[in-house]
Structure 1
Amino acid sequence: MKDNFSALAKEYSKYRPAYPNDMVDYILSFVKERNCALDVATGNGQVAALFSSYFKEIYATDISSKQLEHAVSKGNIFYSRQPAEATGFNDKQFDLITVAQAVHWFDFDAFYKEVYRIVKPEGVIAVMGYGLLQTNTESDKIISRFYRDIVSPYWDAERRYLDQNYKTIPFPFNEIYTDRNFVNTFTWNFEQLAGYLQTWSAVQHYKEEKGTNPFSLIEEELKLSWQNNNKQVTFPLLLRIGKL
């Protein structure tokens, strides 16, 4: 698994969007028991925190100690630094395993083998993510140019799985198919928008290679468009749910 986010742990915690309660409720509707859950590649612990009210224990792992330093603190969440593909958990331990905006970085075969080992019979795995944000027409044109032209060469190859809405990832489970479409909408000031865009891994790769921040190429234009519009941000959400 790649670690593209340790250097931005604080910003990631501050600017990355959360997931809505209706999506959490939908995932939970397929979970038979609610004793023990695992959030893999937890980052700042936002998903672990969302599910913590519903389970006796939540375990959350990440390969980045920097990310874990900024993780949400809850009495029933237990964080540890572990790779997704080889954990120290017991066989058949978890009722639910979640992965948010991270499965595309994993060694699929090794991770799914580990899932089969540690999830309970009839346990559930939920893979979540979000696609390219949508705003107003004027700002969308600027963000699209930033995404597809300016930083496009600097995306890791794995980014394609998000662009393909996670439909092309291997998923060797009894899949629960749904026609539900989830979105999350926020009202953001320009600092929040700018902060989020600069957490993109492609932006970090660009900065490492060129020594400059590509966001500066669109900052003033985007700021003006943001001031002239409704400041609404919508994320299309990705979700695949499977049972063993």
Structure 2
Amino acid sequence: MAARFFEGTNHAELYVRYRPATPSTLVQLVCDYIKEKVPGPLRQAVDVGCGSGQGTQLLAPHFERVLGTDVSPAQVAKAEAAPGAVNIAYSVSPAEAIALPSHSCDLVMAVQACHWFDMSTFLPESARVLRPGGALALVGYRLPAPVWQGREREDVRELLAESYVSGLAGWIQQGSVDTYINGYSDSRFTSPLEDHRRDESTFCDLDGTVADMVGYCSTWSGFQNMVADKGQEAGQKFLDDIQNRVLALLGDGATPESSIVIRFRYFVLLSRKPVDTK
């Protein structure tokens, strides 16, 4: 079964506030890949682990039908409450049991989610629902970096990575390291399909402040686990420490209210079902 981390209503609200939305350019990249082998209109896509439905909505213009699924009722409730296209439906279900017929989908997509799935079950289940030529897209993003004074600050991204791995040791799981740090490079993310491609050209820029970037850290499941274990005071201290260290790196009069661009760099692993599959 998929691990359950983003189920509390408060955490779902933090997720909507601070997490990036899937860039439309990435969705177009995926659709162009599918159309290399699938002629005509694209019929159906399923966004597995859809969360609040931000990425699901971007699929709607490209497909006749779109289904978003998530194991979390709180996340699905957020998705259903948001304005959306009429060709989108949502359901509460695990990633490892996609409630669609075999050979019915042109796309199975998972955005910043599959590191919590049982991949040994999810991958063959994805292959089952894909029609010949259909694609599996495993999407994730790295820890963010601020664009400050015209330069993307990799040193701040490295600081966040160190805080994540060391500061939350004992509260994070390997799955989160697999995406934020390793970019799904582990062999368990390799699909049984063909024509594998990896693309890392897409990024999402969010206008915000230093405080907003630190607020994003509160959405980490490891942070939520630490707060549940140690309490709100420990959580606030963790976030304050990150903020102070970020400000020290930025220098030049940076404050929590300083305007920055928060840049999330995406990666996507693409593969497709063989066209001659029966």
Is the shorter-chain TM-score for this pair beyond 0.5, marking a shared fold?
yes
CA contact (8 A) 1:134 1:140 kept: yes
- Which has the higher Rg, Structure 1 or Structure 2? 2
Residues 101-127 of structure 1 show CA distances to partners (whole Å, capped at 9, x for unaligned) of: 011111111111211211111111111
Distance 1:143 1:161 in 2: 15
CA contact (8 A) 1:34 1:54 kept: yes
CA contact (8 A) 1:175 1:240 kept: no
Residues 36-75 of structure 1 show CA distances to partners (whole Å, capped at 9, x for unaligned) of: 1100000000111011111111001001000011114421
Residues 128-160 of structure 1 show CA distances to partners (whole Å, capped at 9, x for unaligned) of: 010111125475465344223322432112123
- Out of 188, 195, 198, the position equivalent to 2:208 is 188
- Out of 50, 54, 62, the position equivalent to 1:42 is 50
In terms of mean alpha carbon deviation, does 230-239 or 111-120 score higher? Answer: 230-239
One-letter code of the match for 1:10? E
CA contact (8 A) 1:96 1:124 kept: yes
One-letter code of the match for 2:171? Y
| Residue in structure 2 matched with residue 18 of structure 1 by the alignment | 21
Distance 1:60 1:185 in 2: 24
2:271 aligned with 1:242, yes or no? yes
Distance 2:266 2:119 in 1: 21
One-letter code of the match for 2:48? V
Change (3 A) 1:230 1:192: closer
Distance 2:44 2:219 in 1: 31
Distance 1:120 1:97 in 2: 10
One-letter code of the match for 2:241? L
Corresponding residue SS for 1:6: coil
With normalisation by structure 1, the TM-score equals 0.90
Distance 2:195 2:169 in 1: 32
One-letter code of the match for 1:173? L
Corresponding residue SS for 1:44: coil
Distance 1:61 1:180 in 2: 25
Q: Displacement, 1:30?
A: 1.8
In terms of mean alpha carbon deviation, does 141-150 or 11-20 score higher? Answer: 141-150
CA contact (8 A) 1:93 1:119 kept: yes
CA contact (8 A) 1:85 1:107 kept: yes
Distance 1:205 1:156 in 2: 10
One-letter code of the match for 2:192? P
- Out of 206, 213, 217, the position equivalent to 2:241 is 217
In terms of mean alpha carbon deviation, does 144-153 or 158-167 score higher? Answer: 144-153
Q: CA RMSD in A?
A: 2.2
2:67 aligned with 1:67, yes or no? no
Change (3 A) 1:140 1:48: closer
Residues 63-95 of structure 1 show CA distances to partners (whole Å, capped at 9, x for unaligned) of: 100001111442111000010101321111111
Consecutive unaligned residues in structure 2, runs of 5 or more: 274-278
2:184 aligned with 1:166, yes or no? yes
